[in-house]
Structure 1
Amino acid sequence: MSLRPVSALLNEHFFIPSYQRGYRWTALEVKDLLDDIAEFRLSSHNNPRDSFYCLQPVVVKKKHHEWELVDGQQRLTTLYLILRYLKEMAAPNEFGCYSLRFESRPHSEQFLQDISPELAQDNIDFHHIVEAWETINSWFSAKSAEDKTGFLATLLGSGNSGSKNVRVIWYQLHDDADATTVFSRLNHGKIALSNGELVKALLLQSANFVSGGRSALHQQQRLAQEWDEIEKRLQQSDFWYFISNQQVESNRIEFILSIIAAETDSPVPRTHPSYLFLTFASMMKHAPEDPRHIEKLWARIRQRFMMLNEWFENHETYHLVGYLISMGETIRSVITLHNASQNKPHFILLLKERILHQVHPAINLKQVNSEEFPQLLAADISALDYPDKRLRALLLLFNIAILLCDKQSLRFQFSRYKNDRWDIEHISAVSSQIPGDVPGQKAWTKNIRDHLRPDDNVMEPDDKLRRAKNRLHQLAAGLLAHEPFDADKFSSLFNRVQKTLNKKRPQALDNSIGNLTLLDSTTNRSYKNAIFPIKRLRIIEADKNGTFIPVATKNVFLKYYSRSVDNMTFWTIDDHHHYQNAIGNTLANFFQGGTQ
Structure 2
Amino acid sequence: MTPQLPVAPQALMPVGALSGYFWVPAYQRGYRWGKHEVEALLNDLHECAKLPIGQIYCLQPVAVKALTRAATDPYPEAVPVGETYFELIDGQQRITTLYLLYRYLHALGQGAPNFVLSYETRPGSTQFLKMVSSRIDDTNIDYFHMSTAFAHIQGWFETRWPDVSERQHAAADWAQRLASQIDLIWFDAGGQDAIDLFTRINAGRISLTNAELVKALLLADNGHADPIQQATCAGQWDAIEHALHDDAFWYFLSADKPESYATRIDLLLDLIAHASRTHNDSFATFETFQRELAQGRTQQDLWSEVWQRYTLLRDWFEDRAIYHRIGWLIATGEKLSMVMELCMQNAAQSRSAFKKLLESRIRNRLDVTQQDFTGLNYEDHRQQCERMLLLFNVLSVDRLEHGNERYPFATHHKEQWSLEHIHAQAAQPLNGEAAWREWLSDAKRTLDTLQLDDKQTEQLTDQLDKALANKTIGRNTFTKLEQDVSNLLNRLNAASDPHALDNLALLSCDINAALGNQSFPAKRRRLLELDNAGRFIPLCTRRVFFKYYTETTRQQLQFWSLADRDAYRKVIEEVVTPYLN
Normalised-by-shorter TM-score class: 0.5 to 0.7
Contact 2:520 2:560 (C-alpha < 8 Å) held by counterparts: yes
- Relative to 1, partners in 2 of residues 1:408 and 1:507: Cα closer, same or farther, differing over 3 Å? farther
Distance in 2 between residues matched to 1:64 and 1:252, nearest whole Å = 40
- Secondary structure at 1:509 match in 2: coil
How much has 1:150 moved relative to structure 2? 5.3
How much has 1:500 moved relative to structure 2? 9.2
Contact 1:396 1:518 (C-alpha < 8 Å) held by counterparts: yes
Distance in 2 between residues matched to 1:185 and 1:278, nearest whole Å = 21
Contact 1:321 1:351 (C-alpha < 8 Å) held by counterparts: yes
Consecutive unaligned residues in structure 2, runs of 5 or more: 5-16, 68-72, 79-86, 111-127, 445-460
How much has 1:412 moved relative to structure 2? 1.0
Distance in 1 between residues matched to 2:74 and 2:508, nearest whole Å = 62
- For 1:569, which of 558, 570, 577 is the aligned residue? 558
Contact 2:327 2:409 (C-alpha < 8 Å) held by counterparts: yes
Distance in 2 between residues matched to 1:153 and 1:418, nearest whole Å = 54
- Relative to 1, partners in 2 of residues 1:522 and 1:15: Cα closer, same or farther, differing over 3 Å? closer
Residue 205 of structure 1 corresponds to which residue in structure 2? Answer: 220
Residue 449 of structure 1 corresponds to which residue in structure 2? Answer: 431
Matched, 1:344 2:351: yes
Matched, 1:284 2:293: yes
Residue 230 of structure 2 corresponds to which residue in structure 1? Answer: 220
Contact 2:219 2:230 (C-alpha < 8 Å) held by counterparts: yes
- For 2:132, which of 97, 100, 107 is the aligned residue? 97
- Secondary structure at 1:423 match in 2: strand
Distance in 1 between residues matched to 2:325 and 2:196, nearest whole Å = 54
Distance in 2 between residues matched to 1:28 and 1:525, nearest whole Å = 60
Distance in 2 between residues matched to 1:180 and 1:59, nearest whole Å = 14
How much has 1:515 moved relative to structure 2? 1.0
- Secondary structure at 2:361 match in 1: helix
Distance in 1 between residues matched to 2:293 and 2:147, nearest whole Å = 37
Consecutive unaligned residues in structure 1, runs of 5 or more: 45-52, 116-128, 158-163, 172-178, 211-215, 364-376, 435-443, 476-493
How much has 1:228 moved relative to structure 2? 1.2
Moved more, 494-503 or 199-208: 494-503
Contact 1:27 1:135 (C-alpha < 8 Å) held by counterparts: no
Contact 1:57 1:169 (C-alpha < 8 Å) held by counterparts: yes
Distance in 2 between residues matched to 1:134 and 1:317, nearest whole Å = 59
Matched, 1:394 2:388: yes
Distance in 1 between residues matched to 2:380 and 2:474, nearest whole Å = 35
Residue 74 of structure 1 corresponds to which residue in structure 2? Answer: 93
- Relative to 1, partners in 2 of residues 1:232 and 1:273: Cα closer, same or farther, differing over 3 Å? same
- Secondary structure at 2:329 match in 1: helix
Contact 2:201 2:207 (C-alpha < 8 Å) held by counterparts: no
- Relative to 1, partners in 2 of residues 1:220 and 1:110: Cα closer, same or farther, differing over 3 Å? closer
Matched, 1:301 2:306: yes
Q: What per-residue deviation string (whole Å, max 9, x for no partner) do you get for residues 442-491 of structure 1?
A: xx67xx3369645655755467569799538999xxxxxxxxxxxxxxxx
Distance in 1 between residues matched to 2:187 and 2:390, nearest whole Å = 57
- Relative to 1, partners in 2 of residues 1:581 and 1:382: Cα closer, same or farther, differing over 3 Å? farther
Distance in 1 between residues matched to 2:363 and 2:417, nearest whole Å = 22
- Relative to 1, partners in 2 of residues 1:9 and 1:456: Cα closer, same or farther, differing over 3 Å? closer
Contact 1:423 1:521 (C-alpha < 8 Å) held by counterparts: yes
- For 1:552, which of 540, 546, 549 is the aligned residue? 540
Residue 121 of structure 1 corresponds to which residue in structure 2? Answer: none
**TM-score normalised over the length of structure 1:** 0.64
Q: What per-residue deviation string (whole Å, max 9, x for no partner) do you get for residues 479-517 of structure 1?
A: xxxxxxxxxxxxxxx999987997763386121111111
Residue 542 of structure 1 corresponds to which residue in structure 2? Answer: 530
- Relative to 1, partners in 2 of residues 1:169 and 1:359: Cα closer, same or farther, differing over 3 Å? closer
Matches within 5 A, 1:516-535: 516-535=504-523
Contact 1:501 1:570 (C-alpha < 8 Å) held by counterparts: no
Contact 2:439 2:558 (C-alpha < 8 Å) held by counterparts: no
- For 2:266, which of 235, 254, 265 is the aligned residue? 254
What letter is aligned with 2:375?
S
Distance in 1 between residues matched to 2:281 and 2:374, nearest whole Å = 44
How much has 1:356 moved relative to structure 2? 0.9
Contact 1:384 1:391 (C-alpha < 8 Å) held by counterparts: yes
Q: What per-residue deviation string (whole Å, max 9, x for no partner) do you get for residues 406-446 of structure 1?
A: 64622111111111111111111234xx9xxxxxxxxx67x
Matches within 5 A, 1:124-523: 145-149=168-172, 151=174, 184=199, 187-188=202-203, 191-207=206-222, 210=225, 216-249=226-259, 251-262=263-274, 272-287=281-296, 293-341=298-346, 342-360=349-367, 363=369, 377=370, 379-386=372-379, 388=381, 389-405=383-399, 407=401, 409=403, 410-431=405-426, 448-449=430-431, 453-454=435-436, 456=438, 459=441, 461=444, 471=475, 505-506=493-494, 509-523=497-511
- Relative to 1, partners in 2 of residues 1:528 and 1:281: Cα closer, same or farther, differing over 3 Å? same
- Relative to 1, partners in 2 of residues 1:6 and 1:585: Cα closer, same or farther, differing over 3 Å? closer
What letter is aligned with 1:584?
E
- Number of equivalenced pairs: 493
Distance in 2 between residues matched to 1:537 and 1:102, nearest whole Å = 82
- Secondary structure at 2:362 match in 1: helix
Provide the alpha-carbon RMSD of the alignment. 5.7
- Secondary structure at 2:222 match in 1: helix
How much has 1:346 moved relative to structure 2? 2.1
Distance in 2 between residues matched to 1:169 and 1:396, nearest whole Å = 47
Q: What per-residue deviation string (whole Å, max 9, x for no partner) do you get for residues 90-112 of structure 1?
A: 89x99632999999x96x98677
Distance in 2 between residues matched to 1:221 and 1:72, nearest whole Å = 29
What letter is aligned with 1:321?
I
How much has 1:547 moved relative to structure 2? 2.1
- Relative to 1, partners in 2 of residues 1:394 and 1:217: Cα closer, same or farther, differing over 3 Å? same
What letter is aligned with 2:94?
R
**TM-score normalised over the length of structure 2:** 0.66
- Secondary structure at 1:296 match in 2: helix
Contact 2:421 2:503 (C-alpha < 8 Å) held by counterparts: yes
